[in-house]
């Protein structure tokens, strides 16, 4: 059998996989969910969810990817030995492809904001920034072009392959992202009145821990760790036989959680220092924040735009490393299933996702009528992938690996053929068989409004 390409180094594996996990979910979704759900208490619930749900699910995708040794669809079918379960793999590829379209649109907004923060287009009060955001996202051409721009960056990296493209890009971008993050956290925490923001993030009020907060945290941990759409599985197919799966999963989750908490420490202190409430929801990043940066640093000319530029720069990089992993899911699928060269496959996937992104973007206002069931296409893709396909894929994956795949295969992969973590295997198997499916099913039914 032909040897499959692998990542070149352990650090490359961690940075590439963490690059997939660290994305808009950490810097955009996590802070606003924390703001809306009572701060520190939400973070504690989130940590619990990562530990009991996120880790076993990531490890499961690692196992399927490495043992299946192919793109997500074929990896599942290799493990399923030809039976109906392989459709979970196809669902993963489809979910990854659909998400790429709308994720690229939001990533394009980040690029646009990066330029706008230095060109002065964001200078004005909150109402002004809000009008800017609406007119930009509702316009026809500009968001379509920024979507194309970020997809072309993704394309250039994926085209160069696993080692020379994905691994190399992650090795540059992830450290840079951390650097920007730390600089902004320090700037934000040194503002007067910033302490209230730090306290909000780190001082838990347990009376806020309701069932809803827990369910929100469960959903967020899933999304943030890129579980259920083939990314982790595809990357794991490039891991070497000696990669320590449990250790890698812990490292990736730690990096992902650290970035999310640091993102909170970047945003809340600045927001509290100018008296802005952090519970404004999804608009927090694109409407509230530019103005917060303007006001918070108004005493130091030039610093506000610089901080904003770095903030949207790091957001764009975080989105880009996630987009690469999403793109690779479809590219690996096309290369292996349709027997195409990597170059042709990459071009096809880039064009396909751009078309999808264009439709999503236009559906926000540029071309009215692009709706399904009364919702814009953008919202439909968000809903169908995030709230339907993702939990269904995750749920079935747990059942598949926990109950259907021969236990010896799972054991061999988890313990690297009996050499590591043998005593942890029963714990993993218990979580995989019982706790994860029940937890995922609960979030799913809750999201569907069943209780
Ligand atoms: N985990 C990414 C984030 O936090 C989102 C993502 C999901 C990326 C699935 C790739 C695949 O933003």
DSSP 53-89: IIHHHHHHHHHHHHHHTSSHHHHHHHHHTTSTTHHHH
pLDDT digits (tens, 9 = 90+) for 1-25: 457 899 999 999 999 999 999 999 9
Going from the C-alpha of 214 to that of each of 16, 38, 374, the distances in angstroms are: 29, 12, 30
Distance (Å, rounded) from C-alpha 388 to C-alpha 219? 12
From 17, 19, 23, give the residue whose CB has the most ligand 1 atoms within 8 Å, as the site to mutate: 23
pLDDT in tens, 298-357: 888 889 999 999 999 999 999 999 999 999 999 999 999 999 999 999 999 999 999 999
How far is the CA of 252 from the CAs of 11, 12, 248, in angstroms?
Answer: 11, 12, 6
Pocket perturbation via mutation, ligand 1, pick of 16, 107, 224 by most ligand atoms within 8 A of CB: 224
For residue 417, pLDDT beyond 50: yes
Distance 250 CA to ligand 1 centre (A): 17
**Could you read off the pLDDT of 63-78 as tens digits, one per residue?**
999 999 999 999 999 9
d(CA 345, CA 333): 9
320 Cα–ligand 1 center, Å: 10
Q: Which two tokens stand for residue 138?
A: 């509702």
CA atoms lying within 13 Å on the CB side of residue 75: 34
Residue with tokens 């943030």: 224
Distance from residue 325's CA to the centre of ligand 1 (Å): 9
Residue 451 confidence (pLDDT): 79
**Hey, which bits of 74-195 come out as E strands?**
none
Q: Alpha carbon of 194 to those of 187, 229, 258: distances in Å?
A: 10, 38, 20
In 3D space, the residue among 192, 199, 190, 181 whose CA is nearest the CA of residue 43 turns out to be 199
CA-nearest of 387, 393, 384, 398 to 53 is: 398
pLDDT > 70: percent of the chain: 99
DSSP state of 369: T
Q: Supply the pLDDT for residue 1.
A: 46
C-alpha 281 to ligand 1 mean position (Å)? 19
Does 357 contact ligand 1 (Cβ within 6 A)?
Answer: no
d(CA 120, ligand 1 centre) in Å:
30
Pocket of ligand 1 contains residue 26 by CB under 6 Å: yes
Mean pLDDT of 144-172: 97
Residue with tokens 């924040």: 289
First to last CA, the chain: 51
User: So what's the pLDDT on residue 205?
Assistant: 84
What letter does residue 297 receive in the DSSP assignment? T
Q: What is the Å distance from ligand 1's center to 127 Cα?
A: 30
Is 54 near ligand 1, meaning CB less than 6 Å away? Answer: no
- 95 pocket-lining for ligand 1 (C-beta < 6 Å): no
Ligand 1 atom 6 nearest Cα: 226
Number of H-type helices and E-type strands within the chain: 23, 2
Helix (H, G, I), strand (E, B) or coil at 230: coil
In short, whether 320's Cβ falls inside 6 Å of ligand 1 is no
Dist. CA 170 → ligand 1 center (Å)? 15
- Rounded distance between C-alpha atoms, residue 442 and residue 174, angstroms: 34
Instruction: Please check whether residue 261 is in contact with residue 200, taking contact to mean a CB–CB distance below 8 angstroms.
Output: no
pLDDT at 2: 56
Q: Which of 25, 61, 262, 394 to mutate to test the pocket of ligand 1 (most atoms within 8 A of CB)?
A: 25
| Contact criterion met (CB below 8 Å) for 215 and 442 | yes
Distance 262 CA to ligand 1 centre (A): 17
- Ligand 1 within 6 A of 231 CB? yes
Task: Name the average pLDDT for the chain.
Answer: 92
CA of 451 to the centre of ligand 1 (A): 27
Of 421, 59, 82, nearest to 252 (Cα)?
59
pTM of the model: 0.94
pLDDT on residue 438: 95
């Amino acid at each position: 059998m032909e040897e499959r390409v692998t990542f070149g180094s352990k650090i490359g594996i961690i940075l590439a996989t963490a690059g997939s996990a660290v994305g808009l979910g950490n810097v955009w979704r996590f802070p606003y969910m924390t703001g809306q759900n009572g701060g520190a208490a939400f973070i504690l619930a989130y940590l619990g969810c990562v530990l009991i749900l996120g880790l076993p699910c990531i490890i499961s995708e690692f196992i399927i990817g490495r043992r299946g040794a192919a793109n997500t669809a074929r990896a599942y079918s290799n493990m399923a030995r030809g039976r109906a379960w392989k459709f979970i793999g196809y669902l993963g590829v489809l979910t990854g492809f659909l998400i790429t379209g709308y994720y690229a649109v939001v990533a394009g907004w980040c690029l646009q904001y990066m330029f706008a923060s230095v060109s002065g287009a964001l200078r004005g009060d909150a109402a002004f920034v809000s009008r800017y955001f609406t007119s930009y996202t509702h316009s026809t051409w500009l968001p379509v072009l920024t979507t194309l721009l970020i997809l072309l960056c993704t394309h250039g990296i994926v085209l160069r392959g696993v080692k020379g493209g994905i691994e190399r890009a992650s090795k540059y971008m992830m450290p840079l992202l951390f650097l920007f993050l730390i600089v902004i956290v320090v700037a934000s925490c040194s503002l007067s009145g910033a302490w209230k923001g730090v306290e909000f993030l780190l001082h838990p009020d347990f009376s806020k821990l309701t069932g809803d907060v827990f369910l929100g945290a469960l959903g967020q941990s899933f999304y943030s760790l890129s579980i259920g759409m083939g990314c982790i599985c595809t990357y794991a197919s490039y891991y070497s036989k000696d990669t320590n799966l449990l250790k890698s999963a812990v490292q990736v989750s730690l990096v992902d959680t650290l970035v999310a908490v640091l993102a909170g420490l970047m945003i809340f202190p600045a927001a509290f220092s100018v008296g802005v409430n952090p519970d404004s929801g999804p608009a927090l990043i694109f409407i509230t924040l530019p103005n917060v940066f303007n006001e918070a640093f108004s005493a130091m000319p030039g610093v506000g735009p610089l901080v904003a530029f770095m903030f949207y720069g790091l957001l764009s990089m975080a989105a880009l490393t996630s987009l690469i992993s999403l793109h690779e899911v479809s590219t690996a699928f096309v290369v292996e299933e349709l027997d195409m060269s990597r170059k042709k496959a990459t071009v096809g996937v880039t064009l396909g996702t751009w078309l999808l992104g264009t439709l999503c973007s236009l559906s926000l206002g540029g071309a009215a009528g692009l709706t399904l069931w009364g919702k814009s296409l953008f919202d439909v893709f968000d809903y169908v992938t995030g709230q339907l396909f993702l939990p269904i894929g995750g749920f079935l994956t747990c059942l598949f690996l926990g109950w259907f795949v021969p236990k010896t295969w799972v054991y061999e992969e988890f313990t690297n053929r009996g050499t590591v973590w043998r005593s942890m295997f029963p714990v993993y198997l218990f979580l995989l068989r019982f706790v994860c499916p029940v937890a995922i099913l609960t979030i799913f039914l809750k999201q569907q409004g069943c209780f």
